[in-house]
Amino acid sequence: MTILTFTLIMLLGAFAAGMIGSLSGLGGGIIIIPLLTIGLGVDIHYAIGAALVSVIATSSGSAAAYVREGITNMRLGIFLEIATTFGAVCGALISTIAPGSFIAVLFGLTLIFSSINSLRKKEEHVLKQSSPLARKLKLEGSYPDSKGQPIAYGTKNVLGGFGMMGIAGMMSGLLGIGSGAFKVIAMDNIMRIPFKVSTTTSNFMMGVTAIASTVIYLQKGYVQPGICMPTMIGVLFGSMAGSRILIRSNPRKLRIFFAFIILLLALNMIYSGLAGKI
């Protein structure tokens, strides 16, 4: 395959990945890896590097808007980044010694988990009373409702959430994904932070979590400019297009459709990994 053909296929593929990512609420990185490994025969290590580049691009791009609107809880994000960056460094180091087939199977399992999780019913719950540790760390906050009125919320189970964030960071370092699903579970289910704040803060954290593992990837040669360039451009524009479509469509039906596609991708990854093809 010539470089020109590869770049054009990647541009289109990454655009689709970005669009599906934002429509399914999963992030583009998760679709980039199967596309590169199964679709184009690229080694999984290069695919991880490209996915992480696309994660940083899309998360910074969308985090910008949420931060300006004041939905993101920056203190909470920075505090939990201790856990995610530490986890990411461990994950990236494991990934440099783990065989490709192990990574493929683990990735497939994460995909299944994430796609089921994307179908979960999202309810906004607001916790009135914070735990003493949460108060000490100033993790309480408020976010604007649809009319711009601030809704105050508290949080609890700081240590539990912190531990889960470490796991999220490790998956992110191992697989080159944003692991938004794990981060949201830590904040939404464990710390009882309102869903809207959880998703936007998770997005905000991805960039810093990703650079912790990316420095390791860079030095090990995971980041291939020829693969990352079309990926970064395609995913960013794809996710922008996806968020436009989302406003005009029924997200519930779209999510079920894409969760099904991602499930198939996951099974394919697991099969390829077990069969030693990756």
Task: Please give the residue ranges that form the binding site for another protein (CB under 8 A).
Answer: 1-4, 6-7, 40-46, 53, 56-57, 60-61, 63-65, 67-68, 70, 72, 74-75, 78-79, 81-82, 85-86, 88-89, 92-93, 96, 137-138, 207-208, 210-230, 232-233, 236
Q: For residue 140, give both structure tokens.
A: 């309480």
Q: How many CB atoms lie within 10 A of CB 157?
A: 17
Q: Which residues contact 16 (CB under 8 A, 6 or more apart)?
A: 31, 234, 238
Please spell the DSSP secondary structure of 13-53, one letter per residue.
Answer: HHHHHHHHHHHHTS-THHHHHHIIIIIH---HHHHHHHHHH
C-alpha to C-alpha distance for 8 and 53, rounded to whole angstroms:
18
Q: Which is nearer to another protein, 127 or 229 (CB)?
A: 229
CB 154 within 8 A of CB 129: yes
Q: Which is nearer to another protein, 235 or 262 (CB)?
A: 235
C-alpha to C-alpha distance for 159 and 165, rounded to whole angstroms:
10
CB 110 within 8 A of CB 175: yes
Q: Minimal distance in Å, beta carbon 252 to another protein?
A: 30
Q: Mapping DSSP to helix (H, G, I), strand (E, B) and coil, where does residue 187 land?
A: helix
The CB-side HSE value for 244 (13 A sphere, CA atoms) comes to 6
C-alpha to C-alpha distance for 40 and 181, rounded to whole angstroms:
26
Q: Minimal distance in Å, beta carbon 212 to another protein?
A: 5
Q: Which is nearer to another protein, 233 or 262 (CB)?
A: 233
Q: Which is nearer to another protein, 42 or 193 (CB)?
A: 42
Q: Minimal distance in Å, beta carbon 120 to another protein?
A: 28
Q: Minimal distance in Å, beta carbon 213 to another protein?
A: 7
Q: Minimal distance in Å, beta carbon 121 to another protein?
A: 30
Q: Minimal distance in Å, beta carbon 117 to another protein?
A: 25
Q: Which is nearer to another protein, 73 or 115 (CB)?
A: 73
C-alpha to C-alpha distance for 141 and 222, rounded to whole angstroms:
39
Q: Minimal distance in Å, beta carbon 40 to another protein?
A: 8
Q: Which is nearer to another protein, 186 or 259 (CB)?
A: 186
152 strand-pairing partners: 142
Q: Which residues contact 56 (CB under 8 A, 6 or more apart)?
A: 206, 207, 210, 211, 214
Q: Which is nearer to another protein, 82 or 264 (CB)?
A: 82
